[in-house]
């Protein structure tokens, strides 16, 4: 059975394990300092399955951030872990009395899951200004 716990420093290595399993290119940029304060990690027998965070944006909105799952587990176990993480993040957002949550993705699986949760897909142009060469 999957166990869900609030993310703390002691789980940082497990988060890195998940990101490594997904071949996340910018893993070195993720530190405890750059992660949002609100986060959860799903574990199965102390092995990391999924993790995610809630990053505050503006006064009344948040973004689901660093949502990831361990590629070494099967899809059903990952689905269960991700669902528990997202449910906990949605509960946190409601407790904070936020007006909405956004998430940025092009992943078809994430888009389907988001639609199933009631998210609306908004087509838009994204602009970015790189600050480092």
| Domains in the chain: ranges and CATH | 3-116 (3.40.630.30)
In the three-class reduction of DSSP (H, G, I as helix; E, B as strand; rest coil), residue 48 is classed as strand
List the structure tokens of 35. 């992660």
Average pLDDT estimate for 108-128: 84
Is-contact 48 15, C-beta < 8 A? Answer: yes
pLDDT for 86:
93
Output phi, psi for 93, to 5 deg.
-65, -40
List the structure tokens of 17. 């394990």
List the structure tokens of 70. 């361990």
Which pLDDT band holds residue 121 (cuts at 50, 70, 90)? Answer: confident
In the three-class reduction of DSSP (H, G, I as helix; E, B as strand; rest coil), residue 6 is classed as strand
Per-residue pLDDT of 40-93, as tens digits, reads 999 999 899 999 999 999 889 999 988 899 999 999 999 999 999 999 999 999
Average pLDDT estimate for 5-24: 90
pLDDT, averaged across the chain:
89
pLDDT for 2:
81
- HSE value, Cβ hemisphere, 13 Å, CA-based, for 128: 4
Dist. CA 13–CA 43, nearest whole Å: 13
Is-contact 30 19, C-beta < 8 A? Answer: yes
Report the predicted TM-score, pTM, of the whole model to 2 decimal places. 0.84
pLDDT for 82:
92
List the structure tokens of 93. 């957002």
Strand partners, 44: 47
Strand partners, 38: 54
């Amino acid at each position: 059975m999957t166990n869900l716990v609030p993310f703390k420093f002691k789980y940082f290595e497990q988060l890195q394990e998940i990101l490594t399993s997904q071949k996340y290119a910018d893993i070195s940029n993720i530190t405890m300092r750059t992660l949002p304060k609100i986060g959860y990690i799903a574990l199965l027998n102390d092995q990391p399955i999924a993790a995610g965070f809630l990053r505050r944006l503006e006064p009344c909105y948040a973004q689901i951030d660093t949502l990831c799952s361990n590629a070494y587990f099967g899809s059903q176990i990952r689905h269960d872990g991700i669902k528990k993480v997202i449910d906990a993040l949605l509960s946190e957002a409601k407790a904070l009395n936020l007006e909405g949550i956004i998430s940025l993705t092009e992943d078809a699986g994430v888009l389907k899951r988001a639609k199933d949760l009631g998210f609306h897909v908004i087509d838009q142009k994204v602009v970015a200004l790189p600050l480092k060469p």
